Structure 1
Amino acid sequence: MRDDKLNAGEAATRTLELIEKDKVHAVVGALSSAVQLAVNEVTRARGVIYVSISQSDTINEAKDFSKYTFHEALNPHMTTAAVARQTLKKGMKVAHLVADYAYGHEMLRGFKRAQAAIGADNVGEILHPFGAADYSTFMPRLMSMRPDVLCISNFGRDQANAIKQAVDFGVKQQMKIVVPVILHNQRLAVGPDVFEGVVGGANYYWGLEPQSKSAASFNAAFKAANGGAIPTDYGAYGYSGVGSLLAAMQAAGGTDTDKVIDALEKLQYDLTKGPQHYRKCDHQSVQSVLVLESKKKSAMANDNDLFAILANDTGSDDMLRSCSELGHAT
């Protein structure tokens, strides 16, 4: 295990260390979209398999992709399309508050593509620095655009701070707040009152268990191994990223890189929520996309009952941009 410290340079250094010093056969991980591209640059140059668990569209595009690159996470195109289908209608006005780095830019592109297909109107976009603490200067500008929906495309502490300050400014009284990825840990950190009614996408939510045997089994095993704690969205990514790799190594009969790549390309796996597979042209994991709405406090049955599931879109290649659009031969 290594800590990339959410820094691309640190990630590249640690990845090189894992490959050259520890002689690893594969690398799994990364949370930041920029960090994963740095890891991928190192692994593909040295012929080492990399399974990324961070959202990115770029990592699947021909210029960054290699045969060693696999993307277990959802991507912004899939996520924003699913969220848009549940929250936008023709003629709606949409404004965007966007973190000014790869994650935010790709989510914005996804939302704009989805809203154009639906027929919603874009009324403005504001970029904010990564790690911003103060959003107060942005809120009056966003409110002056008079949108029906505000899409906040940022992550982690940025998401928590932006939504909290939007609520403080009374934004919810004027418009619906939508995020591309609604995060379990941020919702816990900020509380139900701030997040009430906020809609976003997710790869996993423990509340799937009544409708998914896979989720029920995963939840039970995770609780048993972690003192009763439930798995979060990114906990599920970590498990399925490593789990799919180990399943492929088992099928390949060892760690030979080309044999494991071949096994990953053929793998049909179901580790947390239902069937998944890696599309051959770009190694994107084809999987279901959840759309969740944060519950108000009075609707929560317990402290873990955070979200209502608005949609569970079955995974299919139709969710993805085409291989040719990404620059791959079909």
Structure 2
Amino acid sequence: MTEPRHRADPPPAAVAPSQPRRRRLLLAGGALAASPALFHVARAQAAPIRIGFPTPLTGAFSAEAQDQVRAAEIAVKEWNDAGGFQGRRCELLVRDDKLNPGEAATRTLELIEKDKVNFVVGSLSAATQLSINAVCRDRKVLFNSISQSDAINEAKDWSLYTFHEALNPHLTAGAVARYAFPKFGKKVVYLTADYAYGHEMVRGFQRAGQPMGVQTLADIRHPLGAADYSAFLPRIQSLKPDVLVLCNFGRDLVNSAKQVTDFGLKSGMKVITPVLLYTARQAGGAEAFEGIVGGTSYYWAMEDKIPSAKAFNDKFRKAHGGAVPSDYGALGYAGVRSVLQAVLNAKSTDSVPVSIALRQLKYDWYKGPQSYRKCDHQSVQSVVIVGSKSKGMKDKYDVFDVLAIEAANEANLRSCDELGHKVTT
């Protein structure tokens, strides 16, 4: 058998002067033996921070979801370009939840268990976000939701790891009601998508309208993803409301707005919607949305008065050939950027310290001052009231007039006590 090149036996006394060399070899050997562990530690320290991003890339809300992704990627790039956290970059892992709560839960579980994400941001449905939140809550992974929901803030669904970057229906519908009902009338019909989003929006309008003496003539419900609304329109016309509220979203909003216009309902009533989507207006066109008023979390033309809006728009334009971000796109940006800022503030990627840092965050990423309410982690923010334009548009992006902005005000939210949170002083 061939002897090893470096024997462990001590050299003969005649060569004692080589002892320092032997010591150097032993030290070098020890360093080499330790190097694999050091290599793995270095790799762990440089491992990327992973954010899971489940959203419905296919289905009725696909246009809005794809814009969420585009804007979220800008937040990631911006953070990486600034150096990340302790040399660690961020990766965005996008998954299609297909607008299905079961699919959303499966994809989220895979992101946590298989892909080892540190945090989850996303969703575009009141139902899927509750499903995503349940998975994250049970596994103690921070989730920042970027879709409207009232239920996610309620104590039964909430946890230390639950945050809600988006507006909620109570706040959105309330702002639109406070603007629209005094101007357009108090007899109201709702055409409502029959799931949580639609139901919660109707409740928000009714609660805001009650002190004004607003009367609900009917709440007419249609299935999610309906293509034909003709069966509902004669009844709406026969009720003769002052205001018709389209409490639906995405492709449903486009289809119902077109058919309401074609049926001639606008001549006898004002049509409003809680969320007047930029992507829906782009898809439906000026005629279908002519005269419709609604709320939004963001409209790009706010850049004329809000510096952070201009900065965000410019980043988006640069990345996407001059296009401007949508309202739900902006939520994708803010949802990711808030979490990454909390990582820097907490000096950690563990969900508990990041959660503590996030609930203390005061920020202005794209629309003016925002902060998270302590009891339920709801982002307190402004609501923008817009009207669809059909004339005098400067370009294809110039689709709304900003009619009013209801300033951020915690008093416009449901109380912590009503949501089931016990607040101690």
Interval containing the TM-score (normalised by the shorter chain):
over 0.9
Runs of 4+ in 1 over 2 A off after TM superposition: none
Q: Does 1:310 align with 2:403?
A: yes
Q: Residues 170-181 of structure 1: matches in 2 within 5 Å? A: 170-181=264-275
Residue aligning to 2:226: 132
Residue aligning to 2:4: none
Shift of 1:301: 1.6
RMSD, matched Cα: 1.0
Residue aligning to 2:197: 103
* Matched residue type, 1:106: E
* Matched residue type, 1:218: F
State the Cα deviation string for residues 169-208 of structure 1 (Å, max 9, x = none): 1000010001000111111111001101101110010010
* Matched residue type, 1:324: D
- Correspondence for 1:241 among 335, 339, 349: 335
Q: Distance in 2 between matches of 1:188 and 1:216?
A: 21
Q: Does 1:114 align with 2:205?
A: no
State the Cα deviation string for residues 86-129 of structure 1 (Å, max 9, x = none): 11029621111000001101011111111112221111110101
TM-score by length of 2: 0.76
- Correspondence for 1:221 among 315, 322, 346: 315
Q: Residues 183-262 of structure 1: matches in 2 within 5 Å? A: 183-262=277-356
Unaligned runs of 5+ in 2: 1-93
State the Cα deviation string for residues 192-230 of structure 1 (Å, max 9, x = none): 011011011100100101110111111111111222111
Secondary structure in structure 2 of the residue aligned to 1:271: coil
Residue aligning to 2:132: 39
Residue aligning to 1:266: 360
Shift of 1:135: 0.3
Shift of 1:319: 1.6
Q: Distance in 1 between matches of 2:413 and 2:247?
A: 20
Residue aligning to 2:19: none
Q: Distance in 2 between matches of 1:187 and 1:89?
A: 25
- Correspondence for 2:248 among 113, 131, 154: 154
* Matched residue type, 1:174: G
More divergent stretch after superposition (118-127 vs 57-66): 118-127
Residue aligning to 1:275: 369
Could you tell me whether the CA contact under 8 Å between 1:89 and 1:119 is conserved in 2?
Answer: no
State the Cα deviation string for residues 61-91 of structure 1 (Å, max 9, x = none): 0111111000000000010111111110296
Secondary structure in structure 2 of the residue aligned to 1:151: strand
Residue aligning to 1:67: 160
Q: Distance in 1 between matches of 2:159 and 2:143?
A: 10
Identity of matched residues, % = 58
Unaligned runs of 5+ in 1: none
* Matched residue type, 2:216: N
Residue aligning to 1:18: 111
Q: Distance in 1 between matches of 2:304 and 2:225?
A: 37
Q: Does 1:28 align with 2:159?
A: no
Secondary structure in structure 1 of the residue aligned to 2:95: coil
Q: Distance in 1 between matches of 2:174 and 2:211?
A: 10
Q: Distance in 2 between matches of 1:252 and 1:185?
A: 36
Secondary structure in structure 2 of the residue aligned to 1:136: coil
Q: Does 1:319 align with 2:412?
A: yes
* Matched residue type, 1:8: P
Shift of 1:283: 0.4
Count of residues paired in the alignment: 329
Shift of 1:299: 2.1
Q: Does 1:163 align with 2:268?
A: no
Secondary structure in structure 1 of the residue aligned to 2:192: strand
